[in-house]
């Protein structure tokens, strides 16, 4: 897969879809292409995150640690991004991601990503927009989930 294919891939991720192609190319260039075999962990819950992963091919499971051992909460595949929260803020990983098939991913390092945002404010605005969308959606989902059970007090 060539640089220009990766750019195409990045464009399909909501977080990056609004960015200009030249910047996506730079993002792809500074990122590493990595390959995992089945059953390998991309990262572990609790570790400090240093990179996000765009899955180019293959599948992975998102697991969280519970008292009864790891518990699978989701599955991710091609064209999705994992670990992106960690490259935006300094939180430990909230889950473990383990591959279930051989997997190819683009590793976007936190430092590089933040550098890009700092240098190209238009990129930061675009990211902000996506995050705000997500927040709005989460808020909506939350109130929907609460709504029927707890009537609003005030």
Partner 1 sequence: MEPRLSRYIWTHTRKDQLWILVVVALSMIPYFLSFDLPKQIVNGPIQGDGFDSPEATQAFLSISFDLPYLGTINVFDGFQLGREGMLLALSLVFLALVVVNGLFKFYINTFKGRLGERLLRRIRFELVDRVLRFPPSHFKRVKPAEIATMIKDEVEPLGGFTGDAFVSPALLGGQALTALVFILLQSFWLGLIATLIVAVQAIIIPRMRKRLLVLGRERQLTARELSGRVSEIVDGIGAIRGHDTSNYERADIAARLGRIFKIRYDLYQWKFLVKFINNFLAQVTPFLFYAIGGYFALQGRLDIGQLVAVIGAYKDLPGPLKELIDWDQARQDVQVKYAQVVEQFSVDTLLDPKVQAVATAAAVPLAGPLAAVNVTVIDDGGSTLLDHVSLQVQPGEKLALMGGGEVLAEAFGRLVWPASGKVVVGGQDILEMPESVTGRRIAYASSDVYVFQGSLGDNILYGLKHAPLTDLVYEGERASHRKWEVTEARLAGNPHLDVESDWIDYQSAGANGPDDLLVQIRPVLDAVLLTNDVMALAVRSTIDPHRHAEFAAGIVEMRSALRQRLETEKLSDLVVFFEPGTYNVEATIGENMLFGTITDQAMWADALEHHPFFKTILQRVGLRDTFYEMGIEIAENVVELFRDLPPDHPFFQQLTFMTAEEIPVYEVILQKVRTKGKGEVSEDDQIKVIRLCFDYIEPRHRFGLLTDEVMAKIVAARREFDEGLPADLAGMIEHYRPNRFIASGSIIDNVLFGRIGHKHADGSEKIRAIVRDLFEAGGLYNEVLAFGFDFNVGAGGKRLTAAQRQKLDLARALIRNCDYYIFNQPLLALDQRVQEQVVRNVFAMLDQSGRDPAIVWVLANPALTDLFDRVAQFENGRLVNDANVDERPDYKEMAS
Does residue 16 interact with partner 1 by CB under 8 A?
no
Long-range contacts (CB closer than 8 Å, 24 or more residues apart) made by 7-11: 9/54, 9/56, 9/79, 9/106, 10/54, 10/106
Q: CA-CA distance, 113 to 31, in Å (whole number)?
A: 9
In the set 12, 115, 134, 146, which binds partner 1 (CB under 8 A)? Answer: 115
48 DSSP 8-state letter: B
For partner 1, how many residues bind (rule: CB under 8 A)? Answer: 30
Query: Residue 92 in 3-state DSSP?
Result: strand
Q: What part of residues 33-52 is at the interface with partner 1 (CB under 8 A)?
A: 33-36, 40, 42, 44, 46-48
Binding site for partner 1 (CB under 8 A): 1-4, 6, 22, 25-26, 29-30, 32-36, 40, 42, 44, 46-48, 92, 104-105, 107, 111-112, 115, 119-120
């Amino acid at each position: 897969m060539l640089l220009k294919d990766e750019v195409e891939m990045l464009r399909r991720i909501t977080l990056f879809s609004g960015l200009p192609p030249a910047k996506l190319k730079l993002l792809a260039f500074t990122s590493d292409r990595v390959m995992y075999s089945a059953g390998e962990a991309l990262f572990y819950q609790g570790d400090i995150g240093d990179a996000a992963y765009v899955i180019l091919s293959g599948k992975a499971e998102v697991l969280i640690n519970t008292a009864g051992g790891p518990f699978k909460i989701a599955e991710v595949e091609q064209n999705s991004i994992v670990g992106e929260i960690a490259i935006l803020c300094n939180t430990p990983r909230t889950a473990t991601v383990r591959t279930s098939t051989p997997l190819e991913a683009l590793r976007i390092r936190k430092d590089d990503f933040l550098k890009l945002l700092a240098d190209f404010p238009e990129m930061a605005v675009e990211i902000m927009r996506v995050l705000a969308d997500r927040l709005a959606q989460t808020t909506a989902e939350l109130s929907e989930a609460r709504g029927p059970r707890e009537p609003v007090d005030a």
